[in-house]
Amino acid sequence: MKGEQVTHGISDSGRGRFVATLLPESEGLVNGRVYYGPMLRAMSEGLAEAGLIMRPIQCLHEYQKHHFLQTPPGFYAGTAILGPLYVFRGFVEAVVSYFEGPKVMLDHHLEGLGMSSVREDALGGMRTVTEHLVSLGHRSLAYVDLSDPQANPWKRGGVEAALSAAGLQPLGRGWAAGCREKKGDCAAALEWFLGLEPRPTAVVCCDDIRAALLIEAARERGLDVPGDLSVTGYGESAARTGRGEFLTTMVVEPARMGSVAAELLQRGGDQDPVAALVEPRLVVRQTTAAPRG
């Protein structure tokens, strides 16, 4: 407000000007080009339009979390918690119960906390890309998951939903493989899938990085993509980094997620929490085709 004096982030009216943004690591995420960087910058810009300042705070180690919880509860106008911190549920619960103002989890959702969240509609997006493969005639599909499936359980749920709607068998034991962002993991998953009966004609990947690594391993093995094997990604990160302009994927708009988070952080702290979903869109490129035969 005009005429207010601000000292250490609190105006004469007692209203905080800072929005605490809790991250597992600050500089690399805020300055990143592909996913979290655009998301956080869009949130910062949306907050700035309302006269609020995003303050990144690293809360990975116990001493960092302890230090943050010593802050006066009314110091911040609101609090944003980045999705990877979902693993520290006890800490997230403490933040929600202790601090005043609106709280938003960005890029994840935890049930039963009474806080808002913003994430892409991973279940709907993965269902859409799986339906695309089914529409091409694929009936045997495998799935490459994150190494920690709980980081995004909605993606596998979308694959299962599409298979069920098409009257196909769900992902049984051995038809889904958790992989790190390493070529060795994706190559091992590919070898396993090729030994299944019937052999999968398509592989749905939880993100573009694993899809690109799987395609690389397939081509080194002499397989044609998409002739012998269709592959899909998720997120559009491969195209944004120049590694996969050819990849069929679901495009996620991280900046839109950040903008929605900024809007939620400007709401009154006593309003009911909102679980906002940002819808991705399918982009069909050269890595999917009808199965041979």
The structure tokens listed for 98 are: 């202790």
At 241 the pLDDT is 59
User: Letter for the amino acid at 134?
Assistant: V
**What's the average model confidence in pLDDT over 58-75?**
96
Q: Give the tens place of pLDDT for each residue, 208-228.
A: 999 999 999 999 999 999 999
Run of H or E including 104: strand 103-106
Q: How confident is the model at residue 236 (pLDDT cuts 50, 70, 90)?
A: confident
All CATH 3.40.50.2300 domain ranges in the chain, comma separated: 6-120+253-278, 122-252
Beta bridge partners of 230: 202
Q: How confident is the model at residue 29 (pLDDT cuts 50, 70, 90)?
A: confident
**What's the average model confidence in pLDDT over 216-244?**
85
SS3 268: coil
- For residue 11, pLDDT beyond 50: no
Within 10 A of 133 (CB to CB), how many other CB atoms are there?
27
24: cis peptide before it, omega within 30°? no
Average of per-residue pLDDT values in the chain = 90
**What's the average model confidence in pLDDT over 131-159?**
95
Q: If you count DSSP H runs as helices and E runs as strands, how many of each does the chain have, helices first?
A: 10, 14
At 244 the pLDDT is 56
At 239 the pLDDT is 55
- For residue 283, pLDDT beyond 90: yes
Q: Give the tens place of pLDDT for each residue, 92-106.
A: 999 999 999 999 999
CATH code matching the domain that covers 6-120+253-278, chosen among 3.40.50.2300, 2.40.128.130, 3.40.980.10, 3.30.1330.40: 3.40.50.2300
Q: Who has greater pLDDT, 241 or 249? A: 249
At 14 the pLDDT is 42
Query: Per CATH, which fold does 122-252 belong to?
Result: Rossmann fold (3.40.50)
At 151 the pLDDT is 86
At 286 the pLDDT is 94
Q: Give the tens place of pLDDT for each residue, 163-194.
A: 999 999 888 888 999 999 999 999 999 999 99
pTM, full prediction: 0.85
At 165 the pLDDT is 97
- Please compute Rg for the chain using Cα positions: 21
User: Letter for the amino acid at 241?
Assistant: T
The structure tokens listed for 176 are: 């889904």
